[in-house]
DNA sequence: TTGCTCCTCACGTCACGTGAGGTGGC
DNA sequence: TTGCTCCTCACGTCACGTGAGGTGGC
């Protein structure tokens, strides 16, 4: 007859627990070859051993169940291997992130927080190309990576050279809420008063003016993961003196990931808006 | 006055979300410097910034909250750094495990399952030193690592040389239920009938006899993580012919981690108990 | 008939995120 | 007074594990 195994037997054969097999059934990931309509008994076929073996290995490399399901039901081997390769790539990025986090931890233990001092600056109104989006905390890196090329492209099409480093505004409760509206900008060598006459820009990039603002500024050198140390130094004093405003926080990327592959070489200005009479 | 910040301000300073700070308060991990008894408003002090910065980095390296709490409340810097070092060590092991899982996945994709054939063997009754415990699936490696030295030590104290490689019995539904009773054994060069006269052994190690049993045996070469492939090949045929019994599954560690650091050099006999008339 | 296996709820775990619904401070 | 921030439930997420309580098959 057909080679059918009970859950318990199939569990022994695959080293997946019975509970896990139940879960995979319910998740539509590994459906038994047949289910007895009266008793509900699951029966697995020998043909399903290979799928179970693959599923176990995909879970061992932390692939989410939904993706495992997609891989197992892939229409052809090429699609299957593409799904696996994509996940292994995410795994590599994750690993790099963990290594960076270990380095950040050890740097904090060895060196302690940085000790530079903030300066006040009156930022003038500035014509810019702008790109705004609702971005979560964990998506900010990739979002910026696609935003600035688009802004540079837009500036090029306008025929107006950038007049300085790109930056971004983090509005409202971006850090408190784990995300929100981010506006990436690139300053243009253009009279702010002339902006209304600028040509429309393709995509969602727009041309606008950053308003004049008084800012407390502190330079941050090193990876973005350590920006909290600089925010603490800068914001602590601004808040202590009660001079902070609820305007968006601003970052200026003087040396950005586009300029260097060395995270310790990154240079970022952190700008906290303060009252005019500060 | 004291430098006290609201949750929102403290979130901006630390890049922890307000919800996370609530959670850390409830978890007793980072209690606000003061809580308004009437409004419930949390107030954080500037002194708490360092703890928040450390907590964020510990979470970034996936330290569980309970351990973060222990580290933050450590009595002295030495205890704190010991806690951190212990976790970084677990992280390294985890990483090695993931690397092994990637290798296992890629080997499966490239080579497919192995194709050796099983043989029948009548194992005679054997005198052994034995060590039994309730062990979970994920704890089996470390458990074996401490079990076999103890068994060798016991054999030495008895003055009886081992008569072969060590093995283990995985009883009942060990693989189906994700754990259960495991019995590690080391065969002794001793008449099984003489066992009752053997001296008591210190610790929880005992002297006993493995009963005679007919086994279907298949050799497994390579890491333990790939044992499921061999179990599938072996058990599939045993179950297909309906000759399996519900006795414990047995593994014999011909080349064990004590003998080599190369996982691909490991050699294990997988033994499935079968009926006497098989 | 006795165990053993199988079944289905329902709830727990972990570290938060996501609203809902309501209140305090400038 | 209007927003804005703050508060507390209560529930969702993810991949199962852990019983509870009950039934089918040899």
Give A78-104 pLDDT, tens digit per residue.
999 999 999 999 999 999 999 999 999
The separation, in Å, between residue B147 CA and nucleotide D12 C1' comes to: 43
Q: B17 and A177: CB-CB below 8 Å?
A: yes
CB B192 within 8 A of CB B126: yes
Q: Which residue from A88, A82, A81 is spatially nearest to A63, judged by alpha carbons?
A: A88
Q: Where are the beta strands (DSSP E) in chain A?
A: 4-5, 34-35, 42-45, 119-123, 126-136, 167-170, 179-187, 206-210, 213-221, 249-255, 267-273
Residue B19, CB, less than 7 Å from strand C?
yes
For B160-191, the pLDDT digits (tens) are 999 999 999 998 789 999 888 999 999 999 98
Q: Is the pLDDT of residue A44 over 70?
A: yes
The mean pLDDT value for A127-133 works out to 92
Cβ contacts of A63 on chain B, cutoff 8 Å: none
| pLDDT above 90 (res A265) | yes
Nucleotides of C under 7 A from a protein CB: 4-8, 14-18, 23-25
pLDDT in tens, B230-241: 999 999 989 988
pLDDT value of residue A70 = 97
**Spatial separation of the C-alpha atoms in residues B173 and A21, rounded to whole Å:** 14
**Could you tell me the pLDDT band of residue A2, with boundaries at 50, 70 and 90?**
low
Q: How far apart are CA B158 and CA B180, in angstroms?
A: 29
Given B11, B20, B232, which is nearest A13 (Cβ)? B232
Asked whether residue A29 carries a pLDDT value surpassing 60, the answer given is: yes
Distance CA A4, CA B230 (A): 19
Residues from chain B that touch A62, judged by Cβ atoms under 8 A, are: 98
pLDDT of residue B24: 97
pLDDT of the residue at A268: 97
Nucleotide nearest to B40 (CA to C1'): D7
pTM to 2 decimals?
Answer: 0.92
| A8 CB-to-strand C distance under 7 Å | yes
B172 touches strand C (CB under 7 A): yes
Residue A96 burial (C-beta neighbours within 10 Å; 0-12, 13-18, 19+)? exposed
Give every residue of chain B whose pLDDT is below 70, as ranges.
Answer: 1-2, 112-114, 196-203, 278
Minimal C-alpha gap between B167 and chain A (Å): 18
Which among B145, B150, B121 has a CA at the least distance from the CA of B269? B121
CB–CB contacts below 8 A, A to B: 147
Q: Judge whether B252 and B268 are in contact, CB under 8 Å.
A: yes
CA-to-CA distance for A234 and A215, rounded, in angstroms? Answer: 11
Provide the token pair at B103. 């290798």
Position A116 scores a pLDDT of: 79
A126 min Cα distance to partner chain B (Å): 26
Cβ of B12 and A227 within 8 Å? Answer: no
* Chain B nearest CA to A101, separation (Å): 6
pLDDT band per the 50, 70, 90 thresholds, residue A123: very high
Q: pLDDT at position A113, please?
A: 66
Distance of A8 CA from D12 C1′ (whole Å): 32
Q: What's the pLDDT at B23?
A: 97
Check whether A74 has a pLDDT greater than 80: yes
- The helix (run of H) or strand (run of E) holding residue A232 is helix A227-240
Contact flag, residue A40 CB and nucleic strand C, below 7 A: yes
User: What percentage of residues in chain A have a pLDDT greater than 90?
Assistant: 81
The shortest C-alpha distance from A127 to chain B (Å) reads 28
Mean of the per-residue pLDDT values of chain A = 92
pLDDT band at A187 (very low <50, low <70, confident <90, very high): very high
Q: How far is CA B59 from the centre of its chain?
A: 23
Whole-number pLDDT of residue A45: 97
Query: Is B91 in contact with A81 (Cβ distance < 8 A)?
Result: no
Asked if A113 lies within 8 A of B11 by C-beta distance, the reply is no
What is the spatial distance, in angstroms and rounded to an integer, between the CA atom of B12 and the C1' atom of D8?
22
Closest residue, by C-alpha, to the C1' of C8: A40
């Amino acid at each position: 007859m057909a080679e059918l195994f009970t859950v318990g037997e199939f569990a022994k054969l695959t080293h997946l627990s019975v509970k896990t097999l139940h879960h995979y059934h319910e998740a539509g990931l590994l459906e038994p070859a047949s289910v007895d309509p009266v008793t509900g008994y699951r029966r697995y076929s020998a043909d399903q051993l290979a799928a179970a073996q693959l599923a176990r290995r995909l879970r061992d490399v932390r692939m989410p169940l939904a993706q495992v399901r997609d891989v197992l039901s892939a229409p052809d081997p090429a699609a299957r291997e593409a799904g696996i390769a994509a996940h292994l790539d995410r795994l590599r990025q994750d690993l790099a992130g963990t290594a960076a986090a270990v380095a950040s931890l050890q740097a904090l233990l060895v060196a302690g927080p940085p000790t530079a001092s903030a300066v006040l600056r009156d930022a003038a109104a500035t014509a810019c190309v702008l790109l705004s989006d609702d971005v979560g905390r964990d998506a900010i890196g990739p979002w910026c990576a696609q935003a600035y090329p688009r802004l540079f492209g837009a500036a090029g099409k306008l025929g107006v050279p950038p007049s300085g480093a790109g930056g971004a505004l983090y509005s409202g409760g971006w850090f408190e809420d784990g995300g929100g509206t981010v506006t990436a900008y690139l300053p243009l060598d253009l009279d702010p008063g002339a902006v209304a006459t600028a040509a429309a820009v393709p995509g969602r990039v727009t041309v606008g003016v950053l308003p004049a603002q008084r800012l407390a500024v502190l330079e941050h050198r090193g990876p973005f993961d350590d920006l909290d140390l600089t925010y603490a130094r800068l914001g602590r004093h601004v808040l202590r003196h009660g001079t902070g405003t609820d305007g968006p926080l601003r970052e200026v990327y003087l040396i950005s990931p586009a300029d260097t592959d060395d995270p310790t070489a990154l240079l970022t200005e952190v700008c906290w808006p303060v009252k005019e009479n500060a």
